[in-house]
Amino acid sequence: MAVSVIDGENSHSRQAMWALALALGGVLAYVVYSYLGTFVLGLFVYYITRPVHRRLSKRVSTSSLAAVISLLTIALPILLIIGYAVAVGVSQLGSLVGPQQIDQVLGPLLGGVGTGAGSGPGTPNAVVAQAINDPQAFASGFAGGGLSGVAQQGGRIALAVLGVLGTVFIQLFIVLTLAFYLLRDDHRLAGWARTEILGEGSPADTYFSTVDRDLKTVFFGNILNAMAVAILAVICYVLLNFFAPSGVAIPSPVLVGLLVGVGSLIPVVGMKIVYVPVALIITAAAIAGGATAALWFPAVFVGVSLFIVDTFPDLLLRPYVSGRDIHTGATIVAYIVGPLLFGWYGLFLGPLLLVAMIHFARIVLPELAHGEPLTARATTDSSLDPTNRENTAPEPDPVDTDIDAEAQTGGETGSEDGRPDEGDHSTASDGGRENRDTATRSSAESDTTEGRPDSSADRVRSTWDDDSSTTDGPRSRDEDR
């Protein structure tokens, strides 16, 4: 029977501390909720740059420098290129379907993005909306109001532009700052959480480690692959249009490239669901216009799409696209439902929630449902267990230089000039019997477990298992402060 050692005074102090902890947790939850899209985007940037950062950390002096290089060379260019491509794609889509339809379709997705200046008449948002929806009326009002009207409209435009740019730069700064400190101090945060809160080897430790590993797969593998395909497709299609014969050009090449990137997430068919119909449209336009001599252009378009856009990213990034623990169909549903439910950041939040729920169902829920003690292993022979293991490329295992040095020293002292130690002869027979017993037990265990898929808990290679030697080497951690 457990005996409580907490007296009345300490009990009141503990309750007060719990109340303070709940209050601070509520404040933190409110801050994260207010900038949920920014924090989720920061996690995405962290996961897509983490493999590069871990390799750079072995070649540069400090982990901070490696984090800065990773963000400036990988994350920032990707964000800027994707932002520009999306803006051009929205503009081309607006020219096809009209600005009013664009507002109806993209309004819910961009509901969390704004300048904070309101949306009533005369506000910066209203000025921008008027300039986009009815440019002629906007220009006539701009020119017909005299000098005071010009000054007033110019002030509204300047305020709108400053508001939008200010919001974008603030959110971008938060994203890069969050990603920087996660890259630099992730091993410290993981070590603190494991030692002080979760417990080494506990079910919670296994759960969060497995979630971390698959988030790296989802973000760095699937989404980054789609973004790389979209960027490559946009570049190729824009360049192709420079050589296109008259009347046989790719319609809205930037928009088509973005759709190709989205199509790469679809299993089996992939991006062919986009560029094959576009090729048929170009071919039909050439035949209908009597430009049969220009039929070479659709053939070149299909060849570039197939051998460059479709094949090159697949060969380059396929070793990292190892999402075998997450069902492909469930991932596609998360990509679709996430933006519809949460807005633009649902593209990242949807897969995050999917990974968290699936591994909770695999590792924790069965034992909770049956009232069994929680263990740090996933349920074996489960339909949620992965079955496809090919083409996986996990991150490098941490290397402990001290253990390697001790092992090498022990090997040198244990045998001199190729002669075994004297004690080896006396223990040879016992060691042989022990080895035979061990082999018998191992054979029996292998017979009972043959055919079972390994659980995710047995293959965790993530931040939670990395120590300071993974990223910082033998140097002191104080160098990064």
Distance of alpha carbon 3 from its chain centroid, rounded? 47
* Boundary (domain end) residue, out of 154, 181, 198: 198
pLDDT digits (tens, 9 = 90+) for 236-293: 999 998 988 887 888 888 888 888 888 887 766 778 888 888 888 888 888 887 777 8
Minimum mean pLDDT among 1-10, 151-160, 201-210, 301-310: which range? 1-10
β-pair partners for 419? 416
Predicted local confidence at residue 9, as pLDDT = 56
- Between 405 and 89, the more confident residue is 89
Contact criterion met (CB below 8 Å) for 337 and 299: no
- Alpha-carbon gap, residue 38 to 32, rounded angstroms: 9
Residue 413 domain flag: no
**Can you say whether the dihedral through the CA atoms of 73, 76, 77, 82 is positive or negative?**
positive
Residue 164 domain flag: yes
Residue-by-residue DSSP string for 81-118: HHHHHHHHHHHHHHHHH-HHHHHHHHTTTTTT---SS-
- The answer to whether residues 303 and 364 belong to one domain is yes
Q: Is the pLDDT of residue 29 over 60?
A: yes
Domain limits at 121? 31-104+111-198
- The answer to whether residues 87 and 234 belong to one domain is no
> How many helices and strands in the chain, by DSSP H and E?
21, 0
User: Rounded to 5 degrees, what are φ and ψ at 416?
Assistant: -115, 130
Maximum mean pLDDT: which of 7-11, 68-72, 406-410, 443-447: 68-72
Helices 272-288 and 253-263: crossing angle, nearest 10°? 150
Q: Is the pLDDT of residue 324 over 60?
A: no
Residue 5 domain flag: no
- The answer to whether residues 183 and 218 belong to one domain is no
pLDDT digits (tens, 9 = 90+) for 180-212: 999 999 888 888 888 888 888 888 888 888 888
For the record, the structure tokens of 428 come out as 């040879």
Q: Is the pLDDT of residue 175 over 80?
A: yes
- Alpha-carbon gap, residue 174 to 296, rounded angstroms: 48
Q: Is the pLDDT of residue 450 over 90?
A: no
Long-range contacts made by residues 337-342, C-beta under 8 angstroms, separation at least 24? 339/109, 340/108, 340/109, 342/36, 342/37
User: Rounded to 5 degrees, what are φ and ψ at 43?
Assistant: -65, -40
- The answer to whether residues 209 and 310 belong to one domain is yes
Residue 452 domain flag: no
Predicted local confidence at residue 23, as pLDDT = 95
Predicted local confidence at residue 226, as pLDDT = 81
Q: What's the rounded mean pLDDT across residues 48-69?
A: 88
Predicted local confidence at residue 383, as pLDDT = 57
Maximum mean pLDDT: which of 53-57, 154-158, 408-412, 417-421: 53-57
* Boundary (domain end) residue, out of 198, 218, 249: 198
Amino acid at 21: A
Residue 132 domain flag: yes
Average pLDDT of the chain to the nearest whole number: 71
Predicted local confidence at residue 458, as pLDDT = 44
- The answer to whether residues 295 and 369 belong to one domain is yes
Predicted local confidence at residue 420, as pLDDT = 42
User: 3-state DSSP call for residue 243?
Assistant: coil
Predicted local confidence at residue 244, as pLDDT = 86
Residue 438 domain flag: no
**Which among 396, 439, 376 has a CA at the least distance from the CA of 210?**
376
- The answer to whether residues 174 and 44 belong to one domain is yes
pLDDT digits (tens, 9 = 90+) for 358-394: 888 888 888 888 777 777 666 544 555 554 444 444 4
pLDDT digits (tens, 9 = 90+) for 219-238: 877 777 788 888 889 899 99
- Domain count for the chain, please give it: 2
Predicted local confidence at residue 180, as pLDDT = 93
- Between 74 and 140, the more confident residue is 74
- Between 50 and 143, the more confident residue is 50
For the record, the structure tokens of 317 come out as 């990034």
Maximum mean pLDDT: which of 18-27, 201-210, 350-359: 18-27
- The answer to whether residues 216 and 335 belong to one domain is yes
Residue 417 domain flag: no
116: left (phi over 0), alpha (psi -120 to 50) or beta: left
450: left (phi over 0), alpha (psi -120 to 50) or beta: beta
Residue 304's pLDDT band (boundaries 50, 70, 90)? very high
pLDDT digits (tens, 9 = 90+) for 96-133: 666 666 666 666 655 544 434 444 444 445 555 555 55
Contact criterion met (CB below 8 Å) for 379 and 366: yes
Contact criterion met (CB below 8 Å) for 171 and 38: yes
* Boundary (domain end) residue, out of 180, 198, 216: 198
Query: How many percent of the chain have pLDDT more than 90?
Result: 8
- The answer to whether residues 185 and 212 belong to one domain is no
Residue 278 domain flag: yes
- The answer to whether residues 209 and 335 belong to one domain is yes
Residue 354: partners with Cβ closer than 8 Å, 6 or more residues away: 326, 330, 331, 334
Contact criterion met (CB below 8 Å) for 197 and 48: no
- Between 164 and 408, the more confident residue is 164
- The answer to whether residues 219 and 183 belong to one domain is no
User: 3-state DSSP call for residue 451?
Assistant: coil
Predicted local confidence at residue 194, as pLDDT = 87
- The answer to whether residues 310 and 268 belong to one domain is yes
- The answer to whether residues 312 and 180 belong to one domain is no
Length of the chain: 481
β-pair partners for 416? 419
For the record, the structure tokens of 102 come out as 């664009």
Q: Is the pLDDT of residue 143 over 70?
A: no
